[in-house]
Structure 1
Amino acid sequence: MPEPGARAAAHAVADGFRDLPAAPPRTPGPPDGPIGWAGYDAARAAAARRTGEAESVVCGTARIGGRDVVLVSFEFGFLGGSLGERTGDLLAAAHRTARERRVPLVSLLATGGSRMQEGMRALAQLQRLTAESARTRAAGLPQVAVARDPTTGGGWAVLGAGADVVLAVEGAQIGFAGSRVRPPGADPAAYTARAQYAAGHVDAVVAPDELPARLGRLVALLAPPHPLAPVEPPGSGTTAPAELLPRSGWEAVTRARAAGRPRADAYLDAYFDVREPVSGDRCGGTDPGMLCGFGSRAGRTVAYAAQRGTRTTPAGYRTAARLIRLAGRLGVPVLTLIDTPGAANGPEDERAGAGPAIAEVFTAVATSPVPVTGLLVGEGGSGGALALAPPGNTWAVPDSYFAVIAPEGAAAILKRTPDEVPATADQLRPRPQDLAALGVTRGTVGPVVSAMRHDGAYE
């Protein structure tokens, strides 16, 4: 069943909703719309009586998460929430108002797509609204979409998937194809919020009763302005005592690989007061080994991209690159946590574009208009780890290492025996103190979040 009407949806997540001033009326057109669809005027009038709205969307100002926003909410009961020329007028005005007031634009979607009774004049609104979205993006303002039930057609493609961050309501039908135009025998499960999340096209699936709080936190994190100074990495106020540093290269490697070593989740939990995830590469993939999102530390918003100690897949790199680029547009500083034995390198990873995906992250870091701070918290396996390490602003914790190649791989290339791997590790100089001496990192911090004992072992 479709969700409640536009105003009920707006009042459920926002305070103080007030309609935008009425847009100037259009010059009266021909009867039954631009293509003379028989009965269109009567259908509009019936929809207005049934819903109490003049169009398929209501637009206004409101407060979400304690921040001012421009809020648009779709009325599915008005001709299936379809987009026509007048809908385009209202949505374009919402974008202009958001830019004038320098506030986020939040869209509560429930739409079946373009209005067929207006023909190509309706479909052309997708081009118009894409241009408005691009202007809002260029202004550095966040666009957050909530895909309600249903969200299909061009409305999903442009207003939903085209937003910076997308939340999907649990159980919602979401997809470019509506239920009546899908291929015969198509699995309906492929057109759901959960399926879109699994494919990396939405950032989170949220239960209806959790939506107000989740959306509120997200808007509070993304709303401008944001200080541009670099963030300090976890533990940067302290220097690691010499007795906590590994004595050899092989010890550095084994400690970084230890099962009891803290991982990214522990660092993020300790660093942030609150955080909201950004998930998916928007290309059909997700990587649970790469955590991305926005968090608040002492009232300041910080974007994060954190490896969790697994081999990072192409989807993980593309998600990190997307996060870093988004943070740059919004003016939010970035923190990266580096921890991977290396990039995933199986045949499926090569087909998925491992090389291009890693290149995306290198480029996103190198061209970021906001400061990027890195912290090596575990394994630094070759280029798959280096991609997330900003030059000149990366630190390391005691139980970490960075190497051009894993010592086992180096030994294999040099045709050495397995018992020569520890000595090869020493030759690579991968210890945290070596990295500082080589100028790869700025220094060794911590311990930050650690179960390490003073003998270098773990509890």
Structure 2
Amino acid sequence: MTSTVDRADPVGGGADDWLACRKCQSLLYRKRFDRLGRVCPDCGWHGPLTARQWLDRLLDAGSARAVLPGPSVHDPLEFTDLVPYAVRLQRARSATGMADAVAVAQGTARGRRLVVAAMDFRFLGGSLGTAAGEAIATAAETALAERVPLLVVTASGGARMQEGVLSLMQLPKTINAMSALDEAGLLTVTLVADPTFGGVAASYATHSDVILAEPGARMGFAGARVIEQTIRQRLPDGFQTAEFLLDHGLVDGVCPRAELPHTLAALLAIGDRPATGWGRDRADPVWRDPDQVPQQSIDRLVRLSRHFDRPSTLDLLTAWTDGFVELHGDRLGEDCPAIVGGLARLDGLPVMVIGHQKGNSTAELVRRGFGMSSPAGYRKAIRLMRMAAKLGIPVITLVDTPGAYPGRTAEEHGQAHAIAQCLRTLGGLPVPVVSLITGEGGSGGALALAVADRVLICEHAIYSVISPEGCAAILWRDPGAAAAAAAALRVDARSLLRLGVVDGVVPEPGGGAHRDPTATTSLARDAVVCALRELLGRPGTELVAARRARFRRFGTTER
């Protein structure tokens, strides 16, 4: 449970005007280094901050008010190794001016209220003992009482050995305190500073809604030295760093210190609520009568639905929203790039947006698997859906995929199970859900994001149980019969509206979305806003009942 991490002073002692960067060894002017937030201007190495420095950086000047935790046991085991534990505690308190390894304050960040608990590695390696656990629990309880978000900054070598099993008990204690914030619908954020190991990583550090990490920060259950000593396995360079964690879906993002205020402000803004009458200034462009939708050649329609230059999910997000914070990973070891999502504000309304991302170039198409998600992508989507339900904000899904990834690895990792869980989660979300099919809507891979209160489709998009080529190969036994298959499958928006599968069609500029992406984006935005405004304010039980009834009717004679 305990990880030992070496932590020499990276910048040296004394009051010299110059110091050496721990990473690149560049000579740094101390005052400039401090002005840059203790970040090396040459290599970007992030030097450690004390708990007090974190509170000063994160909270608005003059807003911080200390939150004092309750008393905790002192030297419960009367532990002695080379030095009595009581002596170690007294030395740490004298050296740091802190009672223990965690400082807690409530205040504001960019005018929005929150509680911050910051760890200080100088205090016995930031180890988690009873006093530190009490401070984290008190921070969570204060956030709950004040009904404000909680931000935890972690830096720890693990559980405090000198307090024995009582240190171990701080893991469920802190998790339970933070779980109460989940039940209350309050946002929790972790900022991982270097290093974060052992019991802290296995409890409150990884329990938050959003986990950010500083560049190069290390986090894991067991540190590299413990792993090497225990199982004689040499770890690769970069193992357990923030960048490694991001690639493996274990954190939402790597956040440089200079960007942290902006990112934190965007996250805290999710707690804002728009004025009454949100979206009333938008005119609804949607066609709801099938006869309004122009008839067109089916093979041309299929080509247009796949055009490289159609606005992608990220294109739409950039144009539609403010303060978009992309959230990464399924928390199980992967981050699928074919599905993107995150928190944002649409005309001031906090929303969770999730969508397939193909890309507008061959390189991006390949990198994102042509928008064909692995199970990790759908599990990431489920995580974001559940977060939206917790925070009480609407979900917007943007569908554009040939289908779910059909490879061996997807089957090994439970593709069918992941899609089924997406369908189940969307079906039961107690918040408004609007889905827009922007290009291809291929089979279960598309449906996984389209179990919505309102399902819209762009004029030149398609939606089908299988690709026209796949249908032609199976039933016609001729891939060249794709156009005939597409016509027979009724994949076009006009037919889908007539069947009741979609609720409306979003017009596109003449010739297709790629001819005028700006106009397309504007029409799609208005359509989504108008769909959402009809759903806002409805009780969650009513939304779920109506959504389930909607899908219950398909295939029956009832409309």
Aligned counterpart in structure 2 of residue 127 of structure 1, from 151, 172, 191: 172
| Post-superposition CA distance 1:99-153 (Å, at most 9, x none) | 1111000001111111011011001100111111111111111110000111111
CA distance, structure 2, for counterparts of residue 162 and residue 277 of structure 1:
18
The answer as to whether partners of 1:236 and 1:445 remain within 8 angstroms in 2 is: no
What SS does structure 2 have at the residue aligned with 1:345? coil
Aligned to 2:440: 379
What SS does structure 1 have at the residue aligned with 2:139? helix
Aligned counterpart in structure 2 of residue 52 of structure 1, from 93, 97, 102: 97
Aligned to 1:457: none
| Bigger mean CA offset, 408-417 vs 113-122 | 408-417
Aligned counterpart in structure 2 of residue 41 of structure 1, from 82, 86, 111: 86
Aligned to 1:87: 132
Which runs of structure 2 are paired with 1:255-334 in the superposition (5 Å)? 255-309=304-358, 310-334=371-395
Aligned counterpart in structure 2 of residue 145 of structure 1, from 165, 172, 190: 190
Which runs of structure 2 are paired with 1:201-212 in the superposition (5 Å)? 201-212=250-261
CA distance, structure 2, for counterparts of residue 229 and residue 368 of structure 1:
23
Matched, 1:388 2:419: no
CA distance, structure 2, for counterparts of residue 97 and residue 363 of structure 1:
34
- Distance change in 2, residues 1:285/1:20 (3 Å): same
- Distance change in 2, residues 1:99/1:450 (3 Å): same
- Distance change in 2, residues 1:421/1:451 (3 Å): closer
Aligned counterpart in structure 2 of residue 403 of structure 1, from 459, 464, 473: 464
Matched, 1:73 2:118: yes
Which runs of structure 2 are paired with 1:18-33 in the superposition (5 Å)? 18-26=64-72, 29=74, 32-33=75-76
Give the CA deviation at 1:173: 1.5
Matched, 1:419 2:466: no
Give the CA deviation at 1:206: 1.3
CA distance, structure 1, for counterparts of residue 337 and residue 471 of structure 2:
28
Give the CA deviation at 1:236: 7.4
Which runs of structure 2 are paired with 1:82-231 in the superposition (5 Å)? 82-183=127-228, 184=232, 185-221=234-270, 223=271
| Post-superposition CA distance 1:48-78 (Å, at most 9, x none) | 1111111100011021243100110001100
- Distance change in 2, residues 1:447/1:287 (3 Å): same
| Bigger mean CA offset, 405-414 vs 373-382 | 405-414
Give the CA deviation at 1:162: 1.3
CA distance, structure 2, for counterparts of residue 340 and residue 386 of structure 1:
10
What SS does structure 1 have at the residue aligned with 2:337? coil
| Bigger mean CA offset, 144-153 vs 241-250 | 241-250
| Post-superposition CA distance 1:297-354 (Å, at most 9, x none) | 2221110101113111111111111100110011011100001000001001111111
Q: Alignment identity in percent?
A: 35
What SS does structure 2 have at the residue aligned with 1:25? coil
Give the CA deviation at 1:357: 1.0
What SS does structure 2 have at the residue aligned with 1:273? strand
Give the CA deviation at 1:21: 4.2
What SS does structure 2 have at the residue aligned with 1:182? helix
Letter in 1 for 2:246: Y
| Post-superposition CA distance 1:372-412 (Å, at most 9, x none) | 11000000000110111124411011120001111111112
Letter in 1 for 2:69: A
- Distance change in 2, residues 1:159/1:21 (3 Å): closer
What SS does structure 2 have at the residue aligned with 1:110? strand
The answer as to whether partners of 1:144 and 1:165 remain within 8 angstroms in 2 is: yes
The answer as to whether partners of 2:273 and 2:350 remain within 8 angstroms in 1 is: no
Higher relative contact order (CA 8 A, sep 6+): 1
Give the CA deviation at 1:260: 2.1
Aligned to 1:452: 515
Which runs of structure 2 are paired with 1:433-448 in the superposition (5 Å)? 433-447=494-508
Aligned counterpart in structure 2 of residue 342 of structure 1, from 394, 403, 423: 403
| Bigger mean CA offset, 171-180 vs 111-120 | 171-180
What SS does structure 1 have at the residue aligned with 2:171? helix
- Distance change in 2, residues 1:65/1:218 (3 Å): farther
CA distance, structure 1, for counterparts of residue 516 and residue 484 of structure 2:
25
In structure 1, runs of 5+ residues without a counterpart are 455-459
The answer as to whether partners of 2:212 and 2:251 remain within 8 angstroms in 1 is: yes
Give the CA deviation at 1:212: 2.0
The answer as to whether partners of 1:246 and 1:252 remain within 8 angstroms in 2 is: no
Give the CA deviation at 1:415: 3.7
Matched, 1:3 2:20: no
CA distance, structure 1, for counterparts of residue 397 and residue 277 of structure 2:
15
The answer as to whether partners of 1:248 and 1:426 remain within 8 angstroms in 2 is: no
What SS does structure 2 have at the residue aligned with 1:180? helix
Report the TM-score when normalising by structure 1. 0.92
Alpha-carbon RMSD: 2.4
The answer as to whether partners of 2:194 and 2:216 remain within 8 angstroms in 1 is: yes
Aligned to 2:523: none
CA distance, structure 2, for counterparts of residue 246 and residue 119 of structure 1:
74
Which runs of structure 2 are paired with 1:215-254 in the superposition (5 Å)? 215-221=264-270, 223=271, 237-239=284-286, 245=294, 247-254=296-303
